[in-house]
Amino acid sequence: MSLSHAILGLLQYQPMSGYDIKQFIDKSVNYFWSAKQSQIYRELAGLEKRRWVVSALEKQSGRPAKRMYSPTGAGRTEFLRWLHEFPAALVEPVRDEFLVHLFFGNGLPVEETLFHLERYKKEAQARLDYFTALAAKLKNGEAGGDCAGERVYWLLTLAKGIKMAEASVQWADESMAVLNAIKREPPKKGVKG
Partner DNA sequence: ACATACATGTAAGTTGTTACATGATTAA
Partner DNA sequence: TTAATCATGTAACAACTTACATGTATGT
CA–CA separation, 137 and 170 (whole Å): 25
CB 25 within 8 A of CB 33: yes
CB nearer to its own copies: give 56 or 182.
182
Q: Does 82 bind DNA (CB under 7 A)?
A: no
CB nearer to DNA: give 89 or 148.
89
CA–CA separation, 161 and 14 (whole Å): 25
User: Exactly one of 63, 93, 111, 185 binds its own copies (CB under 8 A); which one?
Assistant: 93
Give the residue ranges of DSSP H helices in the chain: 2-13, 18-27, 37-49, 73-84, 97-103, 110-140, 149-184
Total interface residues for DNA by CB under 7 A: 28
User: Exactly one of 73, 93, 107, 190 binds DNA (CB under 7 A); which one?
Assistant: 93
Q: Residues with Cβ < 8 Å from 137, sequence gap 6 or more?
A: 143
Q: Does 6 bind its own copies (CB under 8 A)?
A: yes
Q: Does 170 bind its own copies (CB under 8 A)?
A: yes
Residues in contact with DNA by CB under 7 A are 1-4, 17-20, 23, 34-39, 41-42, 44-45, 60, 62-67, 93, 95
